[in-house]
Amino acid sequence: MDKVATTLQSVNTPAILVDLDIARRNIQRFQAYADGHGLKVRPHIKTHKLPALAEMQLRAGAVGITCQKVSEAEAMVAGSLEIRDVLITYNILGREKLEHLAALARKVTLGVVADNETVIDGLSAAFAAEPAPLRVLVECNTGADRCGVPTPEAAATLAQRIAKAPGLVFGGLMTYPPANGAAAVESFMTRAKVFLEAAGIAVPVITSGGTPSMMHAAEAPVTTEYRPGTYVYNDRSLVSRGVCGWEDCALTVLATVVSVPAANRAIIDAGSKALTSDLLGLTGYGHVLTRDDIAIDQLSEEHGRLVSEGPINLKVGDKLRIVPNHACVVTNMVDAVNVIEQGEISGVWPVAARGRIV
């Protein structure tokens, strides 16, 4: 059970496979684009949650990492001495989180975001007596309608509050735009920057993100930094958007056929607890590599149903590799991933920040 399998055939399933050669290529491809356009890269690690992959991203040229949660950042920092610059792109609230944040800030260069005064005031109270101020960026809504201040004017007002708050320094502007949002980012951020500079406040960083439009990041030249996450693995949702091909998908779920109850139907041992029920607007729960004719049309927790229009041509015991709809949520389902290099399993890596959701 705990032995490292040496071949794909011997891996205990369902299991997550990470092809490091593909991940490395994905990392280098975007880093080269960013370097060519004078953009800094700060990958979002929620996709892999693996300190060793973050190190690969840093060695390729990333300036630091992005995390979504304080505990996620703690696990990544504990897992690698190379991770020394972290941006947490989340409104942080509550005594316990703030205490952990302050402790983390004593170890590494840390930044966080805020889109409201309550968060800023909480951060200020927690950092007023700390040895160094906390860097706080204003989160801006450039069209995704999740968090973020709605206007450049509101961004400038919040930035001024940060600049005056004890224990804090204004770190810049952050957004997570919708796909194809470069024009909106450019217009929002340029205006916010003008307001702030007129008020005598410099904007050291303007950070944007998202894999679907990453190869268009430079179309918002006001941006100084980009945070891609899923790009390291890619997934079925990105293939369906035309962002990449199956050959660029580094994460797959390895599953075993456990039953072939009908000529056009087979059941695998990966259900929603491995593939997740995330559809991301797609039909079906994943893509079986090399079998375009098969649909994964139903999941229960531990069963996945495969159907095909013609004979399914599978037998009990067959192993299949599946590209999930959404790689990031699959990562969070397992304690460890099987790493592949040059087609062979080269290790089993614990998913250090798995389940770190607070």
Ligand X SMILES: Cc1ncc(COP(=O)(O)O)c(C=O)c1O
Name the site residues for ligand X (rule: CB under 6 A). Answer: 44, 47, 66, 89, 176, 209-211, 227-231
Q: Which is nearer to ligand X, 44 or 356 (by Cβ)?
A: 44
Q: Which is nearer to ligand X, 44 or 305 (by Cβ)?
A: 44
Q: What is the DSSP letter of 209?
A: E
Classify residue 281 by burial, with Cβ atoms within 10 Å: 0-12, 13-18, 19+. exposed
Least Å distance, CB 227 to ligand X, is 4
Q: Which is nearer to ligand X, 13 or 47 (by Cβ)?
A: 47
- Helix, strand or coil for residue 320? strand
Least Å distance, CB 228 to ligand X, is 4
Give every strand in the sheet of 109-114, ordered side by side.
Answer: 40-41, 225-227, 206-209, 168-175, 134-140, 109-114, 85-88, 65-67
Least Å distance, CB 211 to ligand X, is 3
- Under a CB-based contact definition with an 8 Å cutoff, are residues 243 and 212 in contact? yes
Q: Which is nearer to ligand X, 294 or 351 (by Cβ)?
A: 351
Least Å distance, CB 233 to ligand X, is 9
Q: Which is nearer to ligand X, 211 or 308 (by Cβ)?
A: 211
Least Å distance, CB 114 to ligand X, is 13
Least Å distance, CB 101 to ligand X, is 17
- Helix, strand or coil for residue 251? strand
What would the two tokens of residue 324 be? 């999930």
149: Cβ–Cβ under 8 A, 6 or more apart, which residues?
Answer: 115, 138, 139, 140, 141, 155, 158
Q: Which is nearer to ligand X, 112 or 165 (by Cβ)?
A: 112
Q: Which residue is nearest to ligand X (CB)?
A: 229
Distance CA(184)–CA(142), nearest Å, equals 6
Q: Which is nearer to ligand X, 30 or 195 (by Cβ)?
A: 30
| CA dihedral sign of residues 103, 105, 108, 111 | positive
What would the two tokens of residue 94 be? 């509550």
Helix (H) or strand (E) holding 86: strand 85-88
